[in-house]
Amino acid sequence: MTASVHPLPELVSFLDSLPEPHILCDRSYRILAANAAYRANCGRPEDLIGRKCYEVSHRYPVPCDQAGESCPLARSLISGQRERVVHLHHTSSGESYENIELSPVRDAQGEIAYFIEKLEPLPVARGFADDKGLIGRSQAFRAMLELVARVAPSEATVLLQGESGTGKELAAKAIHDASRRADRPFVAVDCSGLTETLFESELFGHEKGAFTGANTRKIGLVEAASGGTLFLDEMGDIPLTMQVKLLRLLETGTYRRVGSTELIRADIRLISATHRPLKTLVENGQFRQDLFYRVNAFPIGLPPLRNRRDDIPLLAEVLLGRVAPERKLRIAPEALASLVAYDYPGNVRELRNILERASLLCDGDTIMPNHLPDELLQPAATAMDDDLTRGNLPAAPALTPETAAPSDEEIAAALRNHTGSRKALATRLGISERTLYRRIKGLEAEEGN
């Protein structure tokens, strides 16, 4: 039986028949009824009925829009229609992201009298207890998550744009997991690692004898992803000649294996990612405009970590639990202050690496400043001077999608001067480690010519 204080028996019994958690509120945010699914999720009737929805879900003393979040009830009162938002809610299993759908219910005079709120857990971020999901609470992160949640159930082609280590692959996987294709394959392809000749046969497969070394017939990644999602990472690195083939696949929905004349129908959803500004590449003639419009149907920007600094304490805590699950490590306030002040050219990946290293250096249960790398402990200018005296590269300005990738000369100079690991160098250049390897390979090939 639905718990309620309201004499609306038909509506209340209808709510109780619904499997998803639902509540009925009045215009002043008061919960009038909660169905069984909601009570199982969020608490006993005496803790719910008559209380304000923002107190129950958020533990806020004021409505969400006065606490810096968007409030679907306030929005619905203005728009007069159904509103959807993504909120972080307190549930019986801890904090978790929920899709909230709020529908107004009108009285006989046509005035909005009540609201029905439906809650659905968001498969794109199953809460922080999950060992893989996206983590964040900041405004910039929520705006990104809301787009991810909205586009996931559709078939739209998505372009994820953001610096290296901002979580593009994690977001792509989240979209796949929340889509109708979730139980089919998610196939990730690193386009920067593929040479021109490999690109076509890897993507489309080849027939036996199609070229020297093709001893057997091989299915391509498009076929392997059939029914699921194909994730093309580092889309900006696809050579122009291959862009034509990709465009044809997207336009016709068909492709041919190398060495075959048979047309095969592709059943994939495409998600691509880039840390390079595709628009600038189009202007420079390095990326086809027609392909750009195809892949850019639904762009989502992933914010760099330094633009969502308020997420660092939460990220640090959850990531520490992920890198050292068997230990109960905590972070000393001084160490946390250094973590929050740092700029993270390598974004969340760099934070994760810093925490992994700190957990290995820490014998006790508290991460102290001396477990953190030097560059976090010095003011920016001092860190840079120090680096210069050691002959290391000064921290490169972090690459944003608006700025260019480092030139070959910059990479060659960085390689000559850098004494640390390749991982550290990639971080400083603001590119992923695999991109650095590819660029070094390119430089070596040039030197060999």
Ligand X SMILES: Nc1ncnc2c1ncn2[C@@H]1O[C@H](COP(=O)(O)OP(=O)(O)OP(=O)(O)O)[C@@H](O)[C@H]1O
According to CB under 6 A, which one of 58, 168, 206, 269 is a site residue for ligand X?
Answer: 168
Burial (Cβ within 10 Å: 0-12, 13-18, ≥19) of residue 8: middle
DSSP secondary structure, 8-40, as one string = -HHHHHHHHT-SS-EEEEETTSBEEEE-HHHHH
Site track for ligand X across 381-410, x = CB under 6 A: ------------------------------
End-to-end CA distance of the chain: 79
CA dist 7 and 2 (Å) reads: 12
Site track for ligand X across 197-236, x = CB under 6 A: ------------------------------------x---
The token pair that represents 9 in the structure block: 């028996």
One-letter identity of residue 128: F
Least Cβ distance, residue 233 to ligand X (angstroms): 6
Least Cβ distance, residue 98 to ligand X (angstroms): 17
Dihedrals φ, ψ of 391, to 5°? 80, 15
Which span (26-34, 129-137, 175-183, 384-392) binds ligand X, by CB under 6 A?
Answer: 129-137
According to CB under 6 A, which one of 4, 99, 164, 272 is a site residue for ligand X?
Answer: 164
Of residues 415-434, which lie at the interface with ligand X (CB under 6 A)? 432
According to CB under 6 A, which one of 32, 122, 134, 175 is a site residue for ligand X?
Answer: 134
Position closest to ligand X via CB? 167
Residue 135 in the binding site for ligand X (CB under 6 A): yes
Which span (3-11, 20-28, 163-171, 408-416) binds ligand X, by CB under 6 A?
Answer: 163-171
Dihedrals φ, ψ of 274, to 5°? -155, 145
Q: Which is nearer to ligand X, 25 or 172 (CB)?
A: 172
Longest Cα separation, the chain: 84
Nearest to 373 by CA among 392, 355, 397, 390: 355
The token pair that represents 281 in the structure block: 């590449």
According to CB under 6 A, which one of 127, 167, 304, 406 is a site residue for ligand X?
Answer: 167
Which span (49-57, 133-141, 210-218, 395-403) binds ligand X, by CB under 6 A?
Answer: 133-141
In angstroms and rounded to an integer, the radius of gyration of the C-alpha atoms of the chain is 26
Least Cβ distance, residue 136 to ligand X (angstroms): 5
Q: Residue 236 has what DSSP assignment? A: G
Least Cβ distance, residue 153 to ligand X (angstroms): 21
Least Cβ distance, residue 324 to ligand X (angstroms): 14
According to CB under 6 A, which one of 21, 104, 165, 303 is a site residue for ligand X?
Answer: 165
Which span (39-47, 89-97, 162-170, 286-294) binds ligand X, by CB under 6 A?
Answer: 162-170
**Cα-Cα-Cα-Cα dihedral sign, residues 414, 417, 422, 425:** negative
In 122-277, alpha helices (H): 139-151, 168-177, 196-204, 221-224, 240-252
3-state secondary structure of 112: strand
Of residues 314-353, which lie at the interface with ligand X (CB under 6 A)? 348-349, 352
DSSP secondary structure, 80-106, as one string = -S-EEEEEEEEETTEEEEEEEEEEEEE
Least Cβ distance, residue 10 to ligand X (angstroms): 44
- With CB under 6 A, what is the number of residues at the site for ligand X? 18
Least Cβ distance, residue 77 to ligand X (angstroms): 33
Which span (93-101, 165-173, 337-345, 403-411) binds ligand X, by CB under 6 A?
Answer: 165-173
Least Cβ distance, residue 425 to ligand X (angstroms): 14
Q: Residue 50 has what DSSP assignment? A: T
Nearest to 125 by CA among 168, 74, 175, 182: 175
Burial (Cβ within 10 Å: 0-12, 13-18, ≥19) of residue 17: exposed
Q: Please check whether residue 56 is in contact with residue 48, taking contact to mean a CB–CB distance below 8 angstroms.
A: yes
Least Cβ distance, residue 430 to ligand X (angstroms): 10
Least Cβ distance, residue 256 to ligand X (angstroms): 29
Of residues 265-294, which lie at the interface with ligand X (CB under 6 A)? 273, 275
Which span (59-67, 69-77, 105-113, 168-176) binds ligand X, by CB under 6 A?
Answer: 168-176
CA dist 366 and 349 (Å) reads: 21
Residue 166 in the binding site for ligand X (CB under 6 A): yes
3-state secondary structure of 410: helix
Which span (57-65, 89-97, 160-168, 406-414) binds ligand X, by CB under 6 A?
Answer: 160-168
Least Cβ distance, residue 308 to ligand X (angstroms): 9
Q: Which is nearer to ligand X, 22 or 176 (CB)?
A: 176
Burial (Cβ within 10 Å: 0-12, 13-18, ≥19) of residue 27: middle
By the criterion CB under 6 A, which residues form the site for ligand X? 134-136, 162, 164-170, 233, 273, 275, 348-349, 352, 432
